[in-house]
């Protein structure tokens, strides 16, 4: 692999991915709206660019074989603020990818594309979208966009519906939804090294006993997570009291996003650290 | 019903709907980016407004019970030109609807949200989206948006996946896909008068022998089309020669949109009159 | 056909069925907990019997080829009051049927076995039960009992999930759910004259435009209803205002039973005439 | 359409099809292992040929656009006797079709490819095969062969799972399974005039109230049968007594073929005229 | 957790559960129709009560947060003998639970609710019931009852379809169906400590190679069994000869219950120890 | 087990199976069209026989309890050359099995019965056939034949859809499709020692991370593969460059067979060693 472009390189997940990606290609170009990232690898180059501006992000994709597209606002904000980075940004990546002959795009989708399904329903990768926020709606938009570019333009894409990618599970919900850093790296690696992916959707969840997702339609990807949030269960459950079953934030896959008002950050309101 | 708002009132389908809608409510407000519509009904009022501009379209929804949202660019154009009317326009309608307490929105979705399915696959209303153009992608976006506003805000919506709404079937494809004017009116009427719709998707196709869609999951709507394109079959088939089975425009539900380049109008290229 | 037994012969639906059933067999034995039924047909005999008492109902089935089992309390009451007629009564019919070599039992099941499904979900005959009341639970119990007697004892049964069997549609819900008297008679006739039924479940709804049920898995029965509640739609919808979408009685198939407190008659509370 | 070839032209169904097919093309070539057919149409030519012998049947397909392949032994016989006409015959038609550039093959498949499904199961066109005889196994073989030639060689085919094609329904089973001559002609006509069919399977059954098949996945074909065996129901059911529910010939779709010994003609044994 | 009530505390499975349950709450109340249980834990209290008598069992639930309902006759007996403990007993638990504000009920359902499915069909938790005995019918009744109390009253429940809970696998069937004591304890623990369960059905089977059940729709529960009957396979299979494929007791999931006469104990007849 | 017959005993897979099979029965009869196999086990006897000739293969099955049928041409050749060994051969085995009272046949089916499914579709055992070659068509034929003999004659069969049975994974495709020798032996052992199999289809693939098949409907068989091709992934992927996404040989399950011309050996053309 000659060149990979990573967007969102300064974000929490971008930080985890930079090293492993650098090891998979001749040249890694890391990009972000932030003005730098620390500790560049030898074969890594950083380019500051605004995803929402084609004149900035477009040229970054020149000669790239694959793009790992993790750049976006990772929160719920008013629609007007999300449109640029989360909607137009996706369009720009695929459109620039088409112009520059990119073979494949690996995209950080999210559980919030499916957040309004009840937790007692196991969700697979072929059910219709049920977004919980504008944030989730942008993920739905990008998945549909990616499918269209595959079917019309032959650009492959893998859409990783990342659930709770945190350093350790933070609450009872995360006993099912946690995605460890190692498993994230494995997931992105499989999305890159599998020879044929076409248009593939896959959930990003560790091998948790309580994992509520069904990746069987993405079996060809070979993602087999190793970590298991259950080791944290005794500690976390000891702190968990009865829940309010009338609260969609409790009963739906989207968690706090499912109960949040559209356009209002649930994370800011509740003091919860970034969830996916 | 006190007040209904109709967007896209100057369009081909808007023209057909104005009279029947006026008969269903105390006041019909017709709106379009065009500056007038002819022959207002007694209880009809026209307001010029740009859907993409909330300051224009927002106030039109004041006191409305329902919105019949048919306003959009009805063609494939570059993404940048579709964003305002077809994406932001939809957001504006739902957001304004929320602010003004609108109960229900009836939306002109399209077959092009599903256009890449092969014609030999009967499509129902629960399969995943497979858009064929940016035009179709905007329909996917709006359907997902509508589902979210139902699940989060309690605003009902009916999404009419209109197929070939023309005065008569124009080619062999339309023997399956034709939607007559009378059946369109019935479909919109059912979308309005059914007491409970929640989030409903339904195909807009007449009672054609060769209808390729399955509306059984929308049975509660009571849409029973009466017209049948088969009466035109002898004439049309006599003019139809062998087809090119390697052309997605021939083999997929989306027809010419399925084979069109993204962002380029298939209708302009092929001299085909507006199809849906 | 030599002998048919009809239970619940004095009930609203029993009255409709007595004549047609008498015409289909050499001898019709009509039975009820009431002490008589008027206007016996020439080949009809009435026997008073309490379904909940095997010593009374058992002997009635002697030499019967088929039983049309419509006897039950047709309302929601406390469980203790329903157990005898609606649960034990069913057991008695099947157990006596086994003892007397009955070939087939046609049972008046009900939409209330499925009443908690949302109206916007088309219900078929293979989805799991979702009863709305003890009344509906007794229907679930009897359907499972009937399946077991078919699989273990070879006694066939047809379970008619009757929806709104009234003389005419009484409200907007009934535009979808109405079952006319003629269609009820057709349905029972098909359940009797079809040579092979095994264990069959079928909804009892007329050919309403807005019919919300899917009988395709019971196609072998040949039930093709003729009446259509839509002729009443203009009148009924004119009287129907906006509905309360937070009320399960509005949004679920079971109607008033879906919002009723378990064990409390919704019909008595709301002054609604007997619904199914 | 320039040229159509009809195999099995001297058979019961071939006789019905010769006239309508002649009217759909410039030249109809009728062929059979019999040495002639009576009353040739003006644009019809007869060629005697043994399907099982490529040197005989191959040249008949020269310049043909479509083949309507109805030639086969229409009965159950020992496997060794069926191999030539029913298996190799099918191979010869597709292989010769490939060599001569035939666009499409319309094949007389049969219910006996699915004959072991219980009658109380509505069968659709996507369920796995369950043949009841070698006769049915040849139909399974040919359907799979046809799918392969479509996917590998681009030769379209329509597989008509003909049920009971007789002049009138002969028994209670046929109340569901009857296919009238007019509906057969419509079905074959649709299989020919539909512009895109790819690989399509469809049941050949009239519009019988008791029709036990689900053609919804073949909706694009536009087959809408008109005749209804129910008009014969009173007469037929009056002669139908209780059935033996332990007999697969009674309880399975395949009827007498389902209970027959493999390789032994059920029709000869039971004196039943040719059933499909 | 303040208080848990365990019914059937003196039964084979109750004995296994008492200790682990006592460790999960402040107070465990064990109850049975037997007059005592040995070796009470420090925080355990025993109350003798007849499940079929609301005046006895009702007060036991006062202040309970959860009920683990394992009390029932664990055998097939005539319906009249099962009605009290297995049907009315379930009603009493849910009705008393409602009166006393119980949050959740964990119920010992059984494979016998699905016992008539063939063993070669993998059974999941969303297929319709197919009970094999009155014993199984009571499980169907209670599952439907539990679903209704969740949907109408908000009382959560988990229904454990326990298969062969014995100390070690006793025959070839148990190589697939065995549930070890440790796995039973894990299953009950998950049913208690999962924060949101709504209405959940799950099979109680160990991690046997030959496990014939599909729990994927209950993935949120996090049940991951550890034991595997396969270690007993060489020994057991060595003693297993050819089986009688015409015997439902051999070919169906329900085993001996599937072939038993209704109302007659298969265990007594065959000298088989209690199976589930 | 008294006697097992193994066909194709001299083939690559036959060689692996002879020892383990000999250990499972009193007498193993190995047969092949080759004239001998080396190193007979003590209880093994070799008989040379041509599968396509009933007079040769028929008598070999005398007194056999089970047949492990692996004999066939393992390549794509013109139909005329495959008919004898791969089609008639299967018929001969089942027909002789019926005559000699064989209880069960274990058959080496192949992925090529499903080879035209895209690799990004996880294939299960209930989807319709999509053969990629005459070789694959013979597998479809035999599976349907086996189902028919089970349903009509009560002869059980297990159809092993073997994928890439090679000593080690040879290319990127095999990272998903590899079947190790040990797992093959386990699979055949389970097909033999499971007491009830009826008609079962199962994929023969190791426990590869990238396994693209879904055996959940064959769970009763207890096949749990142990080997994992992923240990070869670093080495193999390092040699794998970008693939041609327009080549069915790359994108379909059948691999080189999916792109091969019908009747022409893909293995000979490409110098690939025998693949399954």
User: Tens-of-pLDDT digits for all 276 residues of chain B?
Assistant: 999 999 999 999 999 999 999 999 999 999 999 999 999 999 999 999 999 999 999 999 999 999 999 999 999 999 999 999 999 999 999 999 999 999 999 999 999 999 999 999 999 999 999 999 999 999 999 999 999 999 999 999 999 999 999 999 999 999 999 999 999 999 999 999 999 999 999 999 999 999 999 999 999 999 999 999 999 999 999 998 899 999 999 999 999 999 999 999 987 666 554 444
> What would the mean pLDDT of D239-247 be, rounded to a whole number?
92
CA-based max dimension of chain B:
54
Q: Is residue B39 part of a domain?
A: yes
CATH number of domain containing B166: 3.40.50.720
- pLDDT level of residue D271 (50, 70, 90 thresholds): low
Question: How far apart, in whole angstroms, are the C-alpha atoms of residue A176 and residue A236?
Answer: 12
CB of E87 closer than 8 Å to CB of E27:
no
Question: Mind listing the pLDDT tens digit for each residue in F55-90?
Answer: 999 999 999 999 999 999 999 999 999 999 999 999
3-state secondary structure of F15: helix
The tokens for F100 are 């000699």
For residue E244, report the phi and psi dihedrals to the nearest 5 degrees: -90, 105
CA distances (Å), C60 to each of A139, B53, C30, C57, in order? Answer: 66, 76, 9, 5
Residue A122 is nearest to which of E194, E219, E223, comparing CB atoms?
E219
B212 CB-near residues (< 8 Å, 6+ apart) = B119, B122, B123, B176, B177, B205, B253, D219, D220
Question: Mind listing the pLDDT tens digit for each residue in E177-202?
Answer: 999 999 999 999 999 999 999 999 99
CA distances (Å), A242 to each of A116, A239, A253, E65, E192, in order? Answer: 21, 10, 18, 10, 11
The pLDDT, as a whole number, for residue B73 is: 96
The tokens for A246 are 């009338």
The tokens for B177 are 């896909």
The pLDDT, as a whole number, for residue B276 is: 44
The pTM of this model reads 0.96
Identify all chain C residues contacting D250, using CB atoms and an 8 Å cutoff.
195-196
Nearest to F193 by CA among E207, E255, E122, E237: E237
Q: Which domain holds residue A250?
A: 3-269
Question: How far apart, in whole angstroms, are the C-alpha atoms of residue F76 and residue A151?
Answer: 31
- pLDDT level of residue C269 (50, 70, 90 thresholds): low
CB of D145 closer than 8 Å to CB of F137:
yes
Identify all chain C residues contacting E128, using CB atoms and an 8 Å cutoff.
126-128, 147
CB contact under 8 A, B196 and C237: no
The pLDDT, as a whole number, for residue C266 is: 85
Mean pLDDT score of chain E, rounded to an integer? 95
Nearest to F34 by CA among F50, F14, F53, F20: F50
> In the structure, how many helices (H) and strands (E) does chain E have?
11, 9
Q: Is residue E274 part of a domain?
A: no
- Positions in chain A short of pLDDT 70: 268-276
Question: Mind listing the pLDDT tens digit for each residue in D12-38?
Answer: 999 999 999 999 999 999 999 999 999
Question: How far apart, in whole angstroms, are the C-alpha atoms of residue B93 and residue B61?
Answer: 8
3-state secondary structure of E7: strand
Is the pLDDT at E275 greater than 60? The verdict is: no
Q: What is the DSSP string of chain C?
A: --EEEEESTTSHHHHHHHHHHHTTSSEEEEEESSS--SS--TTEEEEE--TT-HHHHGGGGTT-SEEEE--S--S---HHHHIIIIIIHHHHHHHHHHHTT--EEEEEEEGGGSTTSBTTS-EESSSPP--SSHHHHHHHHHHHHHHHHHHHH--EEEEEEE-B-SSS--STTHHHHB--HHHHHHHHHHHHH-S--SEEEEEE--S-TT--EE-GGGGGG-------GGGGHHHHHHT-----TT-HHHHBTTTHHHHSPTTS-HHHHHT-----
**Residues of A identified as active-site:** 135
Question: How far apart, in whole angstroms, are the C-alpha atoms of residue D123 and residue C162?
Answer: 25
For residue B251, report the phi and psi dihedrals to the nearest 5 degrees: -95, -10
The pLDDT, as a whole number, for residue C240 is: 86
Q: Is residue D117 part of a domain?
A: yes
The pLDDT, as a whole number, for residue C276 is: 44
How many structural domains compose chain E? 1
Model ipTM value: 0.96
Is the pLDDT at C241 greater than 90? The verdict is: no
Identify all chain B residues contacting D223, using CB atoms and an 8 Å cutoff.
209
Q: How far apart are the first and last CA of chain C?
A: 28
3-state secondary structure of A10: coil
Question: How far apart, in whole angstroms, are the C-alpha atoms of residue B162 and residue C149?
Answer: 48
Strands (E), B25-155: 27-32, 44-48, 66-69, 104-110, 123-124
Q: Is residue B20 part of a domain?
A: yes
Q: CA of E93 to nearest chain C CA: how many angstroms apart?
A: 13
3-state secondary structure of F276: coil
- pLDDT level of residue D266 (50, 70, 90 thresholds): confident
Residue E128: alpha-carbon gap to chain centroid: 18
Chain D contacts to B (CB-CB under 8 A): 65, 103, 154, 156, 193-200, 216-224
Mean pLDDT score of chain F, rounded to an integer? 95
Question: How far apart, in whole angstroms, are the C-alpha atoms of residue A111 and residue A134?
Answer: 13
H or E element in which residue E6 lies: strand E3-7
Residue A131 is nearest to which of B95, B133, B144, comparing CB atoms?
B144
Nearest to A274 by CA among A256, A259, A260: A256
Helix, strand, coil in percent for chain F, rounding step 5: 40, 15, 45
Burial category of C42 from C-beta neighbours within 10 Å (exposed 0-12, middle 13-18, buried 19 and up)? exposed
Tell me which chains share at least 3 CB pairs under 8 Å with chain B. Answer: A, C, D
Cβ-based contacts under 8 A for chains A and F:
51
Question: Mind listing the pLDDT tens digit for each residue in E92-102?
Answer: 999 999 999 99
E54 CB-near residues (< 8 Å, 6+ apart) = E92, E95, E96
Q: Identify the active-site residue in E107, E117, E134, E135.
A: E135
**Residues of B identified as active-site:** 135
Q: Is residue A276 part of a domain?
A: no
Identify all chain C residues contacting B194, using CB atoms and an 8 Å cutoff.
210
Is the pLDDT at E136 greater than 80? The verdict is: yes
H or E element in which residue D66 lies: strand D66-69
Is the pLDDT at D9 greater than 70? The verdict is: yes
Identify all chain F residues contacting E170, using CB atoms and an 8 Å cutoff.
none
The pLDDT, as a whole number, for residue B108 is: 98
For residue D31, report the phi and psi dihedrals to the nearest 5 degrees: -140, 155
H or E element in which residue C213 lies: strand C213-214
The pLDDT, as a whole number, for residue F269 is: 59
CB of B210 closer than 8 Å to CB of D219:
yes
CB contact under 8 A, E141 and C144: yes
Per this entry, what is the length of chain A?
A: 276
Using CA atoms in the order A90, A94, A95, A97, what is the torsion angle rounded to 10 degrees? 140
For residue B254, report the phi and psi dihedrals to the nearest 5 degrees: -70, -10
What's the alpha-carbon Rg for chain B, to the nearest Å?
18
Q: Is residue F276 part of a domain?
A: no
Q: Is residue C275 part of a domain?
A: no
Question: Mind listing the pLDDT tens digit for each residue in D163-195?
Answer: 999 999 999 999 999 999 999 999 999 999 999
CB of E211 closer than 8 Å to CB of F219:
yes
- pLDDT level of residue E46 (50, 70, 90 thresholds): very high
Tell me which chains share at least 3 CB pairs under 8 Å with chain C. Answer: B, D, E
CB contact under 8 A, B242 and D65: yes
CB contact under 8 A, F154 and E245: yes
The pLDDT, as a whole number, for residue D269 is: 60
> What would the mean pLDDT of F180-203 be, rounded to a whole number?
98
CA distances (Å), D130 to each of A22, D149, D210, in order? Answer: 54, 22, 21
> In the structure, how many helices (H) and strands (E) does chain F have?
11, 9
Tell me which chains share at least 3 CB pairs under 8 Å with chain A. Answer: B, E, F
Q: Identify the active-site residue in F117, F134, F135, F223.
A: F135
Q: Is residue A275 part of a domain?
A: no
CB of A89 closer than 8 Å to CB of A77:
no
Residue E196 is nearest to which of A209, A230, A245, comparing CB atoms?
A245
b/e burial code for range B246-263 (CB count within 10 A of at least 16 → b): eebbbbbbbbbbbbbebb
Nearest to E144 by CA among C109, C89, C254, C136: C136
């Amino acid at each position: 692999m000659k060149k990979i472009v990573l967007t969102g390189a300064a974000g929490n997940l971008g930080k985890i991915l930079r090293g492993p990606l650098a090891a998979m290609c001749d040249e890694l170009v890391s990009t972000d709206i932030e003005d730098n990232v620390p500790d560049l690898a030898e074969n890594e180059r950083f380019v500051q660019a605004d995803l929402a501006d084609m004149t900035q992000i477009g040229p970054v994709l020149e000669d790239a074989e694959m793009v790992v597209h993790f750049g976006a606002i990772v929160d719920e904000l008013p629609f007007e603020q999300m449109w640029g980075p989360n909607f137009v940004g996706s369009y720009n990546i695929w459109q620039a990818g088409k112009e520059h002959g990119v073979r494949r795009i690996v995209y950080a989708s999210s559980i919030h594309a499916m957040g309004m399904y009840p937790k007692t329903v196991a969700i697979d990768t072929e059910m219709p979208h049920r977004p919980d926020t504008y944030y989730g709606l942008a993920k739905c938009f990008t998945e549909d966009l990616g499918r269209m570019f595959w079917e019309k333009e032959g650009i492959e894409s893998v859409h990783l519906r990342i659930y709770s990618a945190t350093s350790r599970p933070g609450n009872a919900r995360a006993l099912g939804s946690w995605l460890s850093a190692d498993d994230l790296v494995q997931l992105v690696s499989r999305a890159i090294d599998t020879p044929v992916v076409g248009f593939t959707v896959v959930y990003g969840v560790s091998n948790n006993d309580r994992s509520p997702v069904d990746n069987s339609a993405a079996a060809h990807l070979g993602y087999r997570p190793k970590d298991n949030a259950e080791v944290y269960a005794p500690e976390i459950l000891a702190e968990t009291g009865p829940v309010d079953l009338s609260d969609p934030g409790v009963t739906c896959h989207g968690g706090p996003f499912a109960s949040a008002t559209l356009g209002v950050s649930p994370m800011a309101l509740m003091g919860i650290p970034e969830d996916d």
